[in-house]
Amino acid sequence: MDLSQEHIITEMQAREDWMDKYEYLISLGEQLRPMDPALVSEDTAIGGCQSHVWIAAETINGRMRFQGDSDAKITRGILAVVLSIVDGRSPADVAGMDFICLRKIGLSSSLSPSRAEGLAAIISRVRELGARSSSE
């Protein structure tokens, strides 16, 4: 499955009904690379979501590689979108990522910290991982 940003935006915009968008997001979540079970821990867990979410990253040759998982399907799909945006980028890029494209797919209205999706918490963890890696 094509996980490029442009493709995701096109696919999301092609679907008018939110039920179709969710089905697409869920299918993206199913494509998410399985997370190494050893990385599922308190350290990688994100608070502020109603579902469990974990994100881990490592930096290889200056490029960040992300893994993540969630026990909720839609959240895993949203996680897949977020990680597709930052995966393979430099730590500085990740730390400063504005995630404006999330607005194009209608997810930015979910950015308030209290939303069940936990998108705001996911984004702030991703940026933090970028900042941590660039200061190493």
Partner 1 sequence: MSIDTLRADFPILARQVHGKALVYLDNAATTHKPYSVTDRIVAFYENENAGINRSLHALADEAGTAYEAAREAVRAYLNAHSSSEIVFTSGTTESINLIAATFGEAFVREGDEIVVTAMEHHANLVPWQRLCNKTGAVLRVVPIDESGVLRLDSLEELINGRTRLVTVTHVSNVTGIVNPVSEITAMAHARDVPVLIDGAQAIAHHAIDVAALDCDFYVFSGHKIYSAAGIGVLYGKHHWLDSLPPHHSGGGMVTSVSLEHSHFERAPLRFEPGTRNVAGAVSLEAALEYVMALGMEEITSHEGALLRRLEEGLREMKGTTVHGEADRRCCSLSFNLDAAHPADVGMVLDKLGIAVRTGTHCAQPYVDAIAGKATIRASVALYNTRKDIDKLLDGIERAAVILR
CB of 135 to partner 1, least distance (A): 33
Out of 3, 9, 23, 101, point to the residue binding partner 1 (CB under 8 A): 23
Out of 3, 5, 15, 22, point to the residue binding partner 1 (CB under 8 A): 22
Q: To the nearest 5 percent, what fractions of the chain are helix, strand and coil?
A: 50, 10, 35
Q: Is 49 a catalytic residue?
A: yes
Out of 33, 39, 40, 51, point to the residue binding partner 1 (CB under 8 A): 51
Q: How many residues does the chain have?
A: 136
Distance CA 71, CA 51 (A): 6
Burial track 94-116 (b if 16+ CB lie within 10 A, e otherwise): bbebebebbeebebeeeeeeebe
The beta strands (E) that lie in 71-123 are given as none
DSSP state, 136? -
- 49 is a site residue for partner 1 (CB under 8 A): yes
Q: Which is nearer to partner 1, 19 or 60 (CB)?
A: 19
| Number of chain residues interacting with partner 1 (CB under 8 A) | 15
- 79 is a site residue for partner 1 (CB under 8 A): no
- Residues found near partner 1 in the complex (CB under 8 A): 18-19, 22-23, 26, 49-51, 71-75, 116-117
